[in-house]
Structure 1
Amino acid sequence: MEGGDLFQCPTEVLRKINGFIRALVVDLGHNQRLSIAVDRHRIFCSDSSGNCFCSSDLPYGIEIVSLEKEGHACRLYILLRVLMIIQQLLLENKHGSKRDIYYMEQSIFTDIVSVAQYILVVEKESVFQRLANDKFCERHHCIVITGRGYPDVPTRRFLRLLVKELHLPAYCLVDFDPYGFDILTIYRFGSMQMSYDAKLLRVSEIRWLGVFFSDLERYQLPERCLLTLTTEDKKKVEAMLSRCYLHQEAPQWRLELEMMLHKGVKFEIEALAAYSLSILADAYIPRKIQGGHI
């Protein structure tokens, strides 16, 4: 069964909806598998030749929505429910906006469904873009989030919501420096400035994926990747080492922080690209997911 362009006169739209639902009922009556072909659209691609004509107004291939596919049942239900609302509006000769439909059936739009296997939080946008270019989410079935440095409240609330609703493991990838570590602790324990809301924002299940000091040797990173801790960096590390939750809840994290101070060095996530731009997507993150996190 195929979906079509419904941007026509009301009578034509109503005729197509009726025909679509009638065909669906016939298929079900003949014990055929429920599947719907819908047009796919896009607003960008990776064509660097300059000859691309991407447009959200033009279809780009077909997607099959079927009960046979994981996570598609909710999409089918929403599609059919919205079509029924539009059908009723047309029969009554009434006008309704998309926002009206949202409030009429608000419950169906708040079920979060995903086929992802885990959530990956990355410290900065440059790493996020690197993973996007390597199509990391598609290859590894995951959700990637970035707070662009220190995360704001909406980012932290969104992450907590995903973990709570989807029951997925969450991992965090930050620089091996005092500020990366501080960002990591904000995700897990909350921030000092909003300590009164820590229970509503923190994700206590989040695990530290990297980068670690041991990665220097494991991935044979050149000396030029190392940076010396500044006096300010050392003061920040010493202050963080005194935090009680590192003693009580994350002693392994504290050991990594102590190593940073003892060695007096730091390095960024991007240092892993010294030999390959795609090392994060191809090797580092998959290996860490399998057992290299703390």
Structure 2
Amino acid sequence: MEGKRSCLSSSIPSDLLRRIRKLTLSILTNLSNGQSPVVQIDRFRNYCTETSGNCYCNCGISVGKELLTLQRECHTRRLDVLLRVLLVVQTLLQQNRHGSKRDIYYMHPTVFKEQSVVDRAINDICILLQCSRHNLNVVSVGNGMVMGWLKFSEAGRKFDCINNPNTAYPVPVHVEDVEIDIIGVARYILVVEKESVFQRLANDSFCTRNRCIVVTGRGYPDVPTRRFLRLLIEKLHLPAYCLVDCDPYGIDILTTYRFGSMQMAYDAKFLCVPEIRWLGVFPSEVEKYCLPQQCLLPLTREDKTRVEAMLLRCYLRREAPQWRFELDLLLSRGLKCEIEALSVQSLSFLSEEYLPSKIQGGVYI
């Protein structure tokens, strides 16, 4: 998959338009000949539950094909949606314009019925055309924010975070148009799960004191945030740490940054950040920092089910056994907590003691 994409260059729009024409012509030819068209979509995954160590989930290799035909009603609907979305993509490419997934949904809301239907079609189109989503000129409404010792420009618009290192700037949506102009004073990149923690660090002038860059995806990171983080690490060659809640969702967000998501497994090699290290909050730290019982919450049945499923993921067993150990400890103790629970020590404990001491002491996994 990666090799095939490398042939896409500045001529990406014309290449993709050629592929769209080839795909639609194939379908029309089958229909004119009285045959049911068959659309083959490769299937990818970024993890499995294989325990033998013989899986190939992280190799960007298709694990099978899904065949869509007009002989099944559910497939007919998927093909209808796929072709409608493909027509929008073709128009965007021809006119050199960009549109959001939400824009596409509202073009045929009675047909699509829900956003997830459009999202699935976009992923199918990326696989069929062997490209990434941004190549289709389909963009997300960015949720990510960044602050710290960084300068960059996006399509000619300049962002000088260094002048106000504790001020939040939006993560650029068109990451392919970003140019990094960095003064070599940033020591590391810190990714935080939540906006509330990001704002806490801004209020405490964390970036000024520690000469770093802080990024947040405000929950599960969107594609622009993950692409921007990957770009920063590739261009600046800085260590990257991740701070998440000590709960199943926080740890799942952590794995999304490092290993990618199952939904976009076909693009994992271009979105994942294998260099990222888990800085906290670890289940094993609860006693160390003397968090009172009132700061701890019992895992719900849904939490336990999620943890049990995560423990089966092959990449944790193969590439992050220490992460898996902490996850197992979370399940066995049955208690979770938020990052903000550390404020029981003092309001500035997180920014003045917890984070600096862990980074300086190398207490991360």
Match of 2:35? none
How many Å separate the matches in 1 of 2:213 and 2:330?
A: 29
- 2:303 pairs with 233, 236, 255, which one? 233
Letter in 2 for 1:200: F
How many Å separate the matches in 2 of 1:245 and 1:71?
A: 32
- Per-residue CA deviations over 1:37-90 (Å, capped at 9, x if unaligned) read xxxxxxxxxxxxxxxxxxxxxxxxxxxxxxxxx999x9xxxxxxxxxxxxxxxx
Describe the SS at the equivalent of 1:277: coil
* Pairing 1:260-271 to 2, within 5 Å after superposition: 260-271=330-341
Identity percentage over the alignment? Answer: 69
* Pairing 1:87-166 to 2, within 5 Å after superposition: 110-114=179-183, 115-166=185-236
Whether the 8 Å CA contact 1:112–1:165 is kept in 2: the answer is no
Whether the 8 Å CA contact 1:177–1:260 is kept in 2: the answer is yes
Letter in 2 for 1:145: V
Structure 1 stretches of 4+ moved >6 Å? none
TM-score by length of structure 2 reads 0.51
* Pairing 1:6-17 to 2, within 5 Å after superposition: none
Match of 1:8? none
- Per-residue CA deviations over 1:213-246 (Å, capped at 9, x if unaligned) read 2222221111101100000000000000000000
- Does residue 196 of structure 1 match 2:254? no
- Per-residue CA deviations over 1:134-173 (Å, capped at 9, x if unaligned) read 0000000000000000000000000000000000000000
Letter in 2 for 1:261: L
Describe the SS at the equivalent of 2:218: coil
Whether the 8 Å CA contact 1:226–1:267 is kept in 2: the answer is yes
Cα deviation for residue 111 of structure 1 reads 3.8
Match of 2:364? 293
How many Å separate the matches in 2 of 1:112 and 1:256?
A: 38
How many Å separate the matches in 1 of 2:325 and 2:348?
A: 29
Describe the SS at the equivalent of 1:208: strand
Whether the 8 Å CA contact 2:284–2:326 is kept in 1: the answer is no
- Per-residue CA deviations over 1:219-275 (Å, capped at 9, x if unaligned) read 111110110000000000000000000010000000000000000110000000012
Instruction: Give the number of aligned pairs.
Output: 193
Match of 2:320? 250
Match of 1:184? 254
Letter in 1 for 2:323: W
Whether the 8 Å CA contact 1:160–1:202 is kept in 2: the answer is yes
How many Å separate the matches in 1 of 2:150 and 2:253?
A: 32
Match of 1:259? 329
How many Å separate the matches in 1 of 2:313 and 2:302?
A: 18
Letter in 1 for 2:346: S
TM-score by length of structure 1 reads 0.63
How many Å separate the matches in 2 of 1:215 and 1:238?
A: 21
Match of 2:68? none
Letter in 1 for 2:332: H
Describe the SS at the equivalent of 1:217: coil
What are structure 2's unaligned runs of at least 5 residues? 1-148, 153-176
- Per-residue CA deviations over 1:1-32 (Å, capped at 9, x if unaligned) read xxxxxxxxxxxxxxxxxxxxxxxxxxxxxxxx
Whether the 8 Å CA contact 1:122–1:147 is kept in 2: the answer is yes
Q: 1:243 to 1:217 in 2, by over 3 A?
A: same
Describe the SS at the equivalent of 2:341: helix
Whether the 8 Å CA contact 2:186–2:211 is kept in 1: the answer is yes
Letter in 1 for 2:181: I
What are structure 1's unaligned runs of at least 5 residues? 1-69, 75-106
How many Å separate the matches in 2 of 1:71 and 1:286?
A: 20
Letter in 1 for 2:352: D
How many Å separate the matches in 2 of 1:112 and 1:240?
A: 39
- Per-residue CA deviations over 1:171-223 (Å, capped at 9, x if unaligned) read 00000100000000000000011001100000000000000122222211111
Letter in 1 for 2:257: Y
Whether the 8 Å CA contact 2:260–2:272 is kept in 1: the answer is yes
How many Å separate the matches in 1 of 2:232 and 2:217?
A: 15
Letter in 1 for 2:179: T
Whether the 8 Å CA contact 2:187–2:211 is kept in 1: the answer is yes
Whether the 8 Å CA contact 1:176–1:267 is kept in 2: the answer is yes
Whether the 8 Å CA contact 2:260–2:271 is kept in 1: the answer is yes
Whether the 8 Å CA contact 1:112–1:166 is kept in 2: the answer is no
Q: Which has the higher contact order (CA 8 A, sep 6+)?
A: 2
Whether the 8 Å CA contact 2:257–2:272 is kept in 1: the answer is yes
